[in-house]
Amino acid sequence: NAGVTQTPKFRVLKTGQSMTLLCAQDMNHEYMYWYRQDPGMGLRLIHYSVGEGTTAKGEVPDGYNVSRLKKQNFLLGLESAAPSQTSVYFCASNDSGYYEQYFGPGTRLTVT
Amino acid sequence: AQKVTQAQTEISVVEKEDVTLDCVYETRDTTYYLFWYKQPPSGELVFLIRRNSFDEQNEISGRYSWNFQKSTSSFNFTITASQVVDSAVYFCALRGSNDYKLSFGAGTTVTVRA
């Protein structure tokens, strides 16, 4: 099992550009999450999904959109990137019956 | 709302010393779940332990041990006889029974010097 994978690993964007981060999991997990990690702030939830076709807002959803068209994939979109979105983005997943979240390797995004 | 405080920003020890990481949490839920994650320099987040609020037994796993005290809302983590490979950022996290998200502390950076 690959677990949780994220594409790409690194990306540099200019202000105003858009992009999509892809998260894939092969554990048949129902729940998927997108977090961002900023220095000194731990991880903060952006959006999450409790199943295929569902999405919901987390703590810091502004400027991001998500989609979960297939159970194994969870996409995070930046419509118009801003320097404040420079961060490391982590995807995570867990099964409905368990509470540990398993994390992907992260995507380091820089917006200039 | 859930809140996790890790007051120690950085801890530096010499190899073989013990190190204890503090975690204090706030929640109004009667049922909740506490976690520790490790983030080594490579950047991935590694799950270490989950503790349910109704299970106050302490746990030991090799050189790692956890002390859960509901009375003081603390879930502290001790590394015994630290090794260089223990150098990482350690996060404490909390999830309420009706929550989906994990609320993370700011993390404690542990540096173990040879």
Reported as half-sphere exposure (CB side, CA atoms, 13 A), residue A81 has a value of 20
Q: What is the pLDDT of residue A62?
A: 96
A102 touches B at CB < 8 Å = yes
B44 touches A at CB < 8 Å = yes
Q: Render pLDDT for B74-101 as a digit per residue (tens, 0 to 9).
A: 999 999 999 999 999 999 999 988 888 8
Enumerate residues 86 to 105 of chain B having a beta carbon within 8 A of any beta carbon in chain A: 91, 93, 95, 100-102, 104-105
Tell me the shortest Cα–Cα distance from A104 to chain B, in angstroms.
7
Q: What is the pLDDT of residue B23?
A: 98
A50 touches B at CB < 8 Å = yes
Q: Render pLDDT for A2-53 as a digit per residue (tens, 0 to 9).
A: 799 999 999 999 999 999 999 999 999 999 999 999 988 889 999 999 999 9
Q: Render pLDDT for B14-64 as a digit per residue (tens, 0 to 9).
A: 999 999 999 999 999 999 999 999 999 999 999 999 999 988 888 888 999
- pLDDT range class, residue A98, cuts 50, 70, 90: low
In chain A, % helix, strand, coil (3-state, to 5) comes to 5, 50, 45
Task: Inspect the interface and report whether the beta carbons of B43 and A105 lie closer than 8 Å.
Answer: yes
Q: What is the pLDDT of residue A68?
A: 97
B41 touches A at CB < 8 Å = no
Task: Inspect the interface and report whether the beta carbons of A100 and B35 lie closer than 8 Å.
Answer: yes
Contact residues, chain B, for A42 at CB < 8 Å: 4, 91, 93, 104-107
Contact residues, chain B, for A104 at CB < 8 Å: 44
A58 touches B at CB < 8 Å = yes
Per cent of chain A over pLDDT 90 is: 89
Q: What is the pLDDT of residue B7?
A: 94
Nearest CA in chain B to A59: B101
Beta bridge partners of A103: A92
Tell me the shortest Cα–Cα distance from B41 to chain A, in angstroms.
12
Closest CA to B37 of B90, B104, B112: B90
Q: What is the pLDDT of residue A97?
A: 60
A63 touches B at CB < 8 Å = no
Identify which has the larger pLDDT, B8 or B55. B8
Work out the mean pLDDT of chain A and round it to a whole number: 94
Q: Render pLDDT for B102-113 as a digit per residue (tens, 0 to 9).
A: 899 999 999 999
B24 touches A at CB < 8 Å = no
Name residue B67's amino acid.
N
Distance CA B69, CA A1 (A): 36
Q: What is the pLDDT of residue B76?
A: 96
Distance CA B74, CA A60 (A): 27
To the nearest 10°, report the CA torsion of A45, A47, A48, A52.
-160
Q: DSSP readout, B33-61?
A: EEEEEEE-TT---EEEEEEETT----EEE
